[in-house]
Amino acid sequence: MVAAVISLLSSCGFDPKKPGRIYMPDMTYSNALETYSPSDIPNEDGDMVSTRKPVKGTIPRGWIPADEKVRTNESFLMSYMAKNYFTHDPAKWDEEYAKAGASLKDPLEYNDDNKAAGKKLYGTHCVNCHGAAGNGQGNLVVQEDGTDGPYTSVPPDYKKRLPEIKDGNIFYSVSYGKGMMGGYGYSLNVKERWQVIHYIKSMAGIEGDATGAGVKTEAPKDAKKGS
């Protein structure tokens, strides 16, 4: 009787988070870490939280489409794998920007469907700053009544700037941002980024052939070197 009473009392407690002695503690108290819970092991950024970044050099399942046109196109594959080669470290921006220009080529076929898709995406993500004509006069820069908008940095005119920039540089800027512009790598997938690039290049007078190689259809009269 005494042993039974002692056992019963020792199994009880006043703290609801500590119910006393239990038969299978590993089932009551999970050893798994909750999302963003404190951890004794720092992550890659030195934060003491349970969240971990993907292993460097890995590709998420389903990241590269099963489309044969993508998997057999070296330039397309490089576009999907580019994130493994760029850190977007501000200290390495110039180095990576130059590397992207040399290594990334436009892989997407120039056709009306891709250009139309790019126009639609441009209207969703870009027109507010860059303007409907691609001249940097979006409603965040110049409002409908002609007054200055809240955005003080005027984006460059595509007709003046794009003919001097390589496709890989544009892709890097769209993916990770440039200057005051933020990156759109999280909101636009690889194909969508190239579709947007096709559309903005068309506004600059740059078209392409069926293989995706960009060619200048006409030199903008107001284009000046270094502008």
pLDDT above 70 for 154: yes
In this prediction, residues 86-105 reach a mean pLDDT of 89
Q: Using 50, 70 and 90 to split pLDDT, how confident is the model at 226?
A: very low
pLDDT above 60 for 193: yes
Q: Which residue has the higher pLDDT, 221 or 200?
A: 200
Q: Using 50, 70 and 90 to split pLDDT, how confident is the model at 19?
A: low
* pLDDT (tens digit per residue) in 159-191: 888 888 899 999 999 999 888 888 898 899 999
Say what the pLDDT of residue 200 is: 92
Q: How far is CA 187 from CA 82, 158, 190, 192, in A?
A: 16, 22, 10, 9
Say what the pLDDT of residue 134 is: 87
pLDDT above 90 for 20: no
C-alpha to C-alpha distance for 116 and 72, rounded to whole angstroms: 24
C-alpha to C-alpha distance for 53 and 34, rounded to whole angstroms: 15
Dihedral, CA atoms, 44, 47, 49, 51, nearest 10 degrees? -30
What are the beta bridge partners of residue 214? Answer: 208
The single-letter code of the amino acid at 164 is E
pLDDT above 70 for 219: no
Q: Using 50, 70 and 90 to split pLDDT, how confident is the model at 107?
A: very high
Q: What is the set of domains in the chain, with CATH numbers?
A: 68-215 (1.10.760.10)
Highest mean pLDDT among 40-54, 70-84, 186-200: 186-200
Q: Using 50, 70 and 90 to split pLDDT, how confident is the model at 86?
A: confident
